[in-house]
């Protein structure tokens, strides 16, 4: 009989994607991330559904998402600077513990049906603020745990578990809320929130067990001037690299036209058109996760595309996701909406892995935390505007909101194909070479 360790070793050699899991610190981070992602995607369904059930107003959903997004965007760059200056592990521990307490408070108020809209607004703002520090830290900790050659596989594993949770989390949340019934919907939502509390607790333990020393980069006392100088360095590094600058602009435009209609429009669509209600919401979002997971697996298993395909792939992502909005606008049943969601997730999951790998190779190691926080800012900075705008537009017509934003995204894709710098985004020589 073969020794189990020998079998494991051969499996890791056969599947290089699994190599980072041999390292204890990364394994702890990955396990905590898996559970944390599932919890986050449970609340991805429960939070807007809570707002919808309390207020009955799609504008309220957009307003809550906007209020969470404003501090997330406003403090994102500052979070990147704090992460570069101090320990990513410490920043993640403080953020995770704080979010655990907030989620416990919210779950309890929902269970006893004492929560009000103003309390939801406050909690959304606080969650957004804590996220602004957690996200840059989570992207900066991986290079401290592994050698550089393992970073692409390590990031692919994290992206993969994130998308797998997007497949499982929304469906599970939809089932829990649906099982509770319309008369006890708040009880079902509270159960979902309590499960997220458990996820935060598990993640907190795994982060604490990571043995990586807290190596900060503090060379002088903290001051506003030093933080502003650090922020300026990150912004300057991004702006001087034309392809990275264009990448941030394209991502920001994508966020403006996709994020809000997707986050606000899907729950309203499920509630208004499909008899499955919350379950339909979870099924559509889980379908996106299925597609994204397949896309990530494809990106990690197939040879990388040629550099001259990077810009075209980014534009293709914009085009296909725009087309999914058109399908949502006319879909007579949840099955068609799910099919469109799978296709959108497939291209998006593939492109995200390709873009992250390209950025990691291009950006200098000393600047990666701050520059990546700029990219995160581009991916989230316009989300509050997008969510608020979508909530307002949906009050006039859900169908026309999906149709108009879908056609705009397709039009922007076709316009981008006419710009050589965007079309050939990956061909510009790397400044670090």
pLDDT tens digits, 389-404: 888 888 888 889 999 9
Q: What percent of the chain has pLDDT over 70?
A: 86
pLDDT tens digits, 116-138: 999 999 999 999 899 888 888 88
Residue 125 sits in a domain whose CATH number is 1.20.1250.20
Q: What is the pLDDT of residue 6?
A: 52
- How sure is the predictor about 213, in pLDDT bands with cuts at 50, 70 and 90? low
Q: What is the pLDDT of residue 308?
A: 73
Residue 7 lies in a domain: no
Residue 417 lies in a domain: yes
Q: Which of 22-26, 105-109, 148-152, 218-222 has the lowest mean pLDDT?
A: 218-222
> What angle (nearest 5°) sits at the alpha carbon of residue 238, between those of residues 260 and 90?
75
Residue 217 lies in a domain: no
- Mean pLDDT over each residue of the chain, to the nearest integer: 81
Domain that holds residue 191: 16-212+224-427
HSE-CB at 325 with a 13 A cutoff on CA atoms is 29
Instruction: Tell me the mean pLDDT in the region 423-431.
Output: 57
**Number of independent structural domains in the chain:** 1
Q: Which of 39-48, 92-101, 254-263, 354-363 has the lowest mean pLDDT?
A: 354-363
Q: Which residue has the higher pLDDT, 182 or 114?
A: 114
Q: What is the pLDDT of residue 2?
A: 46
Instruction: Tell me the mean pLDDT in the region 335-352.
Output: 90
Residue 219 lies in a domain: no
Residue 9 lies in a domain: no
Residue 4 lies in a domain: no
Residue 2 lies in a domain: no
Exposed / middle / buried, residue 350 (Cβ in 10 Å: 0-12, 13-18, 19+): buried
CA 353 – CA 378 distance, rounded (Å) = 17
Residue 218 lies in a domain: no
Q: What is the pLDDT of residue 49?
A: 86
Exposed / middle / buried, residue 161 (Cβ in 10 Å: 0-12, 13-18, 19+): buried
């Amino acid at each position: 009989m073969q020794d189990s360790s020998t079998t494991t070793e051969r499996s890791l050699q056969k599947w290089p994607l699994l190599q980072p899991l041999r390292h204890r610190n990364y394994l702890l981070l990955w396990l905590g991330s898996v559970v944390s992602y599932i919890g986050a995607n449970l609340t991805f369904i429960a939070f807007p559904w809570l707002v919808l059930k309390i207020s009955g107003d799609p504008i309220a959903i957009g307003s809550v998402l906007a209020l969470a997004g404003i501090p997330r965007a406003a403090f994102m760059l500052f979070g990147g600077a704090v992460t570069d200056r101090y320990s990513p592990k410490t920043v993640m521990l403080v953020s995770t513990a704080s979010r655990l307490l907030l989620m416990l408070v919210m779950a309890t108020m929902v269970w006893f049906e004492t929560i009000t809209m103003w309390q939801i607004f406050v909690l959304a703002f606080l969650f957004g603020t804590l996220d602004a520090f957690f996200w840059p830290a989570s992207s900066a900790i991986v290079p401290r745990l592994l050698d550089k050659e393992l970073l692409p596989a390590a990031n692919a594993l994290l992206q993969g578990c994130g998308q797998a949770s997007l497949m499982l989390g929304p469906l599970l949340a939809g089932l829990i809320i649906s099982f509770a019934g319309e008369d006890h919907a708040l009880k079902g939502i509270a159960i979902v929130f309590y499960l997220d509390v458990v996820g935060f607790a598990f993640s907190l333990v795994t982060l604490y067990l990571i043995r990586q020393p807290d190596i900060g980069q503090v060379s002088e006392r903290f001051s506003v001037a030093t933080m502003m100088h650090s922020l300026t360095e990150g912004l300057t590094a991004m702006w001087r690299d034309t392809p990275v600058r264009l990448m941030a602009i394209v991502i920001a435009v994508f966020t403006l036209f996709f994020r809000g209609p997707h986050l606000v429009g899907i729950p309203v669509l499920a509630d208004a058109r499909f008899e499955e209600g919350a379950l339909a919401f979870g099924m559509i979002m889980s379908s996106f996760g299925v597609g994204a997971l397949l896309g990530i697996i494809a990106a990690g298993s197939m040879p990388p595309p040629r550099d001259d395909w990077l810009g075209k792939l980014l534009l293709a992502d914009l085009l296909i996701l725009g087309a999914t909005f058109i399908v949502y606008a006319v879909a007579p049943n949840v099955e068609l909406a799910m099919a469109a969601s799978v296709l959108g997730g497939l291209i998006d999951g593939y492109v995200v892995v390709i873009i992250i790998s390209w950025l990691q190779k291009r950006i200098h190691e000393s600047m990666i935390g701050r520059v990546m926080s700029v990219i995160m800012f581009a991916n989230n900075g316009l989300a509050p505007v997008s969510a608020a705008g979508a909530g307002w537009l949906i009050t006039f017509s859900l169908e026309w909101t999906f149709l108009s934003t879908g056609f705009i995204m397709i039009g922007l894709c076709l316009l981008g194909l006419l710009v050589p710098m965007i079309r050939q985004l990956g061909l510009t020589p790397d400044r670090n070479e």
